[in-house]
Structure 1
Amino acid sequence: MTKTLEAFLHEGLASLKEQGLYNTIDVLEAHNGPIIKINGRELINLASNNYLGFANRDELKAADQAATQKWGVGAGAVRPINGTLQIHQDLEAKIAEFKGTEAAIAFQSGFNCNMGAISAVMTKNDAILSDELNHASIIDGCRLSGAKIIRIKHQDMADLEEKAKAATESGLYEKVMYITDGVFSMDGDVANLPEAVKIAEKYQLITYVDDAHGSGVMGHGKGTVKHFGLQDKIDFQMGTLSKAIGVVGGYVAGTQELIDWLKVRGRPFLFSTSLTPGSVAACITALDLIMAHPEYVDQLWENADYFKAKLKAVGFKVAKSETPITPVILGDEQLTQKFSQALVANGVYAKPIVFPTVPLGTGRIRNMPSATHTKAMLDEAVTVYEKVGRELGII
């Protein structure tokens, strides 16, 4: 007998809750900054991707409002029909300048970007070498392409070379792509792009870097590819406009021919209404600020290094992060949920990250210090961490 939808949902939700894998969604009562308000309480916010604090910055709000007055609240159509306003072209030119490439294309989100860009180039006749810890949007984009997906052990360059050699010499595939996050969002480690590029050149691999958590953070803000000086070696530089940039959207930067191709074959670009003019103007302003004021990125790193050192000093196990992402590894899923709840009860908002976002048994609290946190806020957060850690017998 088949299962009803009601039975499937009831059993599934009960199972998730029993395993500690069900996350509730909290509603913010004011903007998403270093301090947030939930249910009337002010909490130190360590859960946001708003790295530079741009989501509520006055310059971005002013740019959004001015563009809305000039262009309207929406573009009115998909980009290929008549939804491309001059301001969209201005944004893409600014992204290309920012990333050091010939051209760029803006999508409606980072997820759309990976869904559209990968499947626009890779087909069932191809193979994709994909790091096993790549973001869900990469995994789904690879699946949508129909290409053979070959998992690469995380950051294992020997495994990459072995599988690149096998794939390219097999005669089974027309094209082979290597795709990786620039910064891995759950651990904070950075892709070994210099070695990956050497292997890619040796085996003529297409290279694709998802730099969602690197743009505005690595390479003086210009990203992980720029950090390694490899902007001429990476075919696809993908990033978001919703994290350090503080607004919404995604992009791919690369050669003019690549961008021309994505504009006629990237399905989310072709079939979703354009980014709003206000959002586009805010993104342009954010990119200008990052390029003109390296001190904003410097402040982010200073705060992140300070917070990590303080957590380690009181006895917490912090993953080997090379970026501001600061995961405190707890392991057990139920313990991770309980720890997060205790943090919130004591005034620190930091979310539990459990399976399927990370492997079973590697539950963690993922902390995201920003450029707009004060040292006093971070000190208070560490004091709460120490209190909860001792109460739960972790330190």
Structure 2
Amino acid sequence: MIDFFRKQKYLIDFTLASLLRRKGKNFGLLFVYTLIVFMLASVMLFTHALRHEAGIILQQSPEIILQRMVAGRHALMPADYLDRIGRLRGVVEKKGRLWGYFYDPAVKANYTMMVDETKGLSTTETIIGAAIARTRGVGIGDWITFRSHDGEAYSFQVTDILDTVSELVSADLVFLSEKAYRVTFGVPDGYFTDLVLSVRNPREVQKIAEKLSLKLPDTRPILREEVLRTYDSIFSWRQGIVFVLLAGAVLAFVIFAWDKASGLSAEEKREIGILKAVGWETGDVLRMKFWEGAIVSLAAFIIGYLAAYAHVFYGSASLFEPVLKGWAVLYPDFQLTPFIDGMQVATLFFFTVFPYTVATIIPIWQASITDPDAIMR
């Protein structure tokens, strides 16, 4: 066993020396190879981290959202629907919510306006998201003006700015008092945007949703799991868009790498002939060239993946941020929590390292079984 490892060490030393003799060609290949791994890994890491972050945040959302539907569209929910629901086993809390979208022509962006009574806001106070504060150039103590549904302008004093840690979901959020919200949007008393229900046992959510559909046939229950699946689909779709954009570069690299791996230069063939002439066996030549492919591909994978990790988690994925985040105007500024999926790494490793390493074996085998004298001539 010791002899085996010693032999592999000598083969690796010889392979490194052989690579350095053709350093211009090999460093060019390594650079392109690393760049491809870097781009693919950046997209995968950023998308997966966003998906993971959104999943953690949405776990705090209510298990069931109940919306009233009129002619297939979302409509206001009468407050008496809370009484019509009655007591449902497993439901620990039910309440109405007030929220909506407000278009701000000053920055050409939509805000999400919401009522949260736990904030203790007066009718002239508001709490805004960090992206709104940056875009509008306001801070705590400043005043911000919104125009209501009837054209009247109402000013609110900013009492707080939401923490940047939650900016993934709070970048465009505006909190108002209930009275200020109803005046701004013209929502009469006794109506809510929708209802939310908290369920004690997650396994009972589907059954409770079925009961709600029977009691209130003009409503639509939306489960938290459905929201999570929607976010997952959105991020997967955006990841697919970037991969399609990169497909041309990946295809060009595949052709380049295959041409390099499957075709031997006259110098490489002469080197194999000399090795065979001085006593190297076919297996030794194959192992040497296997290590050559493995060293190049492994070095490209490690350097590219580490560069992608730094780019995503320390550089905010600036190359792919506009496509994958998806906000048109109010871009959230947040630091992603480093998260790596082992299966994702294994998949990327398999599709970037394995094909190139294997592709180097076939032409080398064909050359190594040829008579050394014929090769050198």
Q: Report TM bin, short chain.
A: under 0.3
TM-score by length of 1: 0.21
Structure showing the higher helix proportion among its residues: 2
Higher relative contact order (CA 8 A, sep 6+): 2
**Which has the larger Rg?**
2
TM-score by length of 2: 0.22
